[in-house]
Amino acid sequence: MGRGGSSKVFHTAVLTMMVLALGVAPVSSTRAGALTKSHPLLPPHEPARNFRLASVNKVLVSINAARASEEGLAPLSFNAARLAKLSVPEQVFVVSNLERTTRGLYPAMAMLQRLDAVAATAARHDQDPVDNGRGYSSVWSSAPSSLGPYAFFADFGWMYDDGPPPQYIFRNVDCATAGQSGCWGHRDNILSRPLTGWHGCASQLVTGTGFDLRTPDGPSLTQIFEVACSPLGSAAAFTWRYAVAYLHIPTSQSGLG
List the CATH number of the domain containing 62: 3.40.33.10
- Model pLDDT, residue 11: 40
Instruction: Note whether 100 and 107 are within 8 A (CB).
Output: yes
Evaluate whether residue 195 is within a structural domain. yes
What does the pLDDT read at residue 146? 57
User: Collapsing DSSP states into helix, strand and coil, what is residue 110?
Assistant: strand
- Most distant CA pair in the chain: distance in Å? 52
pTM for this one?
A: 0.85
Q: Looking at residue 257, what is its pLDDT?
A: 77
Average pLDDT in the 168-195 region? 92
Q: What's the confidence (pLDDT) of residue 136? A: 66
Length of the chain: 257
Answer whether 253's CB lies under 8 Å from 106's CB.
no
Q: What confidence category does residue 201 fall into, taking pLDDT thresholds of 50, 70 and 90?
A: confident
Task: Give the pLDDT of residue 147.
Answer: 62
Going by pLDDT thresholds of 50, 70 and 90, the confidence category of residue 198 is: confident
Tally the domains of the chain: 1
More confident of the two residues 56 and 1: 56
Mean pLDDT of 2-7: 22
Higher pLDDT pick, 211 / 56: 211
Confidence tier at 55 by pLDDT (50, 70, 90): confident
**pLDDT given at position 148:** 67
Does residue 108 fall inside a structural domain? yes
Please choose, from the candidates 28, 41, 78, 72, the residue with its C-alpha nearest in 3D space to the C-alpha of residue 162.
Answer: 41
**Quick check: is 132 in a domain?**
yes
In this prediction, residues 21-43 reach a mean pLDDT of: 52
State residue 7's pLDDT score: 24
Q: State mean pLDDT over 42-56.
A: 93
Residue 204's DSSP bridge partners are 228
Determine how many CB atoms are found less than 10 A away from the CB of residue 19: 8
Q: Which residues have a Cβ under 8 Å from the Cβ of 100 and sit 6 or more positions away? A: 106, 107, 108, 190, 191, 255
Tell me what percent of the residues of the chain surpass a pLDDT of 90.
64
**Of 21-30, 41-50, 121-130, which gets the smallest average pLDDT?**
21-30
75 pLDDT more than 80? yes
Predicted pLDDT at 32: 39
Identify whether 256 is part of a domain: no
Query: Which residue range forms the structural domain that includes residue 164?
Result: 11-18+53-247
pLDDT band at 18 (very low <50, low <70, confident <90, very high): very low
Q: Is residue 211 part of a domain?
A: yes
Torsion of CA 34, 37, 38, 39, to 10 degrees: -140
- Residue 197 vs residue 73, higher pLDDT: 73
Query: Is the residue at 135 inside a domain?
Result: yes
pLDDT at residue 202 above 90? Answer: no
In a domain, 42, yes or no: no
| Residue 21: predicted pLDDT | 25
Side-by-side strand order, sheet with 203-212 = 170-172, 11-17, 137-142, 220-229, 203-212, 110-112, 236-239
DSSP line for 35-76: --------TT---SS----S-TT-HHHHHHHHHHHHH-PPPP
pLDDT at 13: 47
Q: Is 243 domain-assigned?
A: yes
